């Protein structure tokens, strides 16, 4: 078990495009385990490998319904319908933003065994997947938010950290 330091927005590597994982090795299993430890320790609901300084296309998410692990995730389709919600990010600790996202997405990738995985998600989980796949392309919610505000200015926030 290892808990990693989560990089914050001033870190240039967060802006780089992560590389695909060509082969699932024991190191990738270790990465997935360490990412889960780090996410749960930070009380997050999602984490992308670049947030702990690993430039690989690996994400995890758990909105309280169980852990999702995805290697080389791709959003293959998304709803036309969109909605606004307040979003946070473990890599942007001071601020929150109002971000428009597709209401539902279909995600394809591989699980830790290297088997093809297809997940249909809607609502909050769909939002988390969109947020995490953005991290793999060097994007932060700040780039998409219509409005960004200080966390201290927000009294109530639903959901958790992405
Ligand atoms: Ni994030």
132 in active site:
yes
Where is pLDDT greater, at 159 or 48?
48
pLDDT at 67 over 90: yes
Q: What is the pLDDT of residue 157?
A: 60
Distance (angstroms) between ligand 1 centre and the Cα of 162 equals 4
Work out how many domains the chain is built from and give that number: 1
Q: Once rounded to an integer, what is the mean pLDDT over residues 71-89?
A: 97
**Domain contains 5:** no
Name the residue among 142, 115, 140 with its Cα closest to residue 48.
140
119: Cβ contacts below 8 Å, ≥ 6 apart:
68, 70, 106, 107, 108, 129
**Domain contains 116:** yes
**Domain contains 33:** yes
DSSP-derived pairing of the beta strands 95-102 and 147-150: antiparallel
DSSP assignment of 60-97 equals EE-SSS--EEEEEEEEEEE-S-EEEEEE--TTSTTEEE
Residue 108 and residue 120 in contact, taking contact as beta carbons nearer than 8 Å: no
**Domain contains 7:** no
**Domain contains 97:** yes
- Options 122, 132, 147, 155, the catalytic residue: 132
Distance (angstroms) between ligand 1 centre and the Cα of 105 equals 18
CATH, residue 76 = 3.90.45.10
Distance (angstroms) between ligand 1 centre and the Cα of 80 equals 23
43-55 pLDDT, tens digit each: 999 999 999 999 9
Distance (angstroms) between ligand 1 centre and the Cα of 26 equals 25
Predicted TM-score (pTM) of the model is 0.94
The whole domain housing 105 covers: 12-158
Distance (angstroms) between ligand 1 centre and the Cα of 153 equals 20
**Domain contains 4:** no
């Amino acid at each position: 078990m290892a808990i990693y330091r989560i990089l914050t927005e001033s870190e240039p590597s967060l802006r780089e495009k992560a590389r695909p994982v060509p082969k699932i090795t024991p190191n990738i299993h270790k990465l997935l385990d360490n990412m889960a430890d780090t996410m749960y320790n930070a009380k997050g609901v999602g984490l992308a490998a670049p947030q702990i300084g690993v430039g690989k296309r690996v994400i995890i998410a758990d909105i309280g319904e169980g852990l999702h692990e995805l290697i080389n995730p791709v959003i293959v389709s998304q709803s036309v319908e969109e909605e606004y919600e307040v979003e946070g990010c473990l890599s942007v600790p001071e601020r929150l933003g109002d971000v428009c996202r597709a209401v539902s997405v279909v995600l394809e990738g591989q699980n830790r065994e290297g088997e093809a995985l297809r997940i249909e998600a809607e609502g909050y989980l769909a939002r988390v997947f969109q947020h995490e796949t953005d991290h793999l392309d060097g994007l932060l919610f700040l780039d998409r938010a219509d409005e960004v505000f200080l966390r201290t200015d927000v009294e109530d926030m639903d959901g958790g950290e992405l």
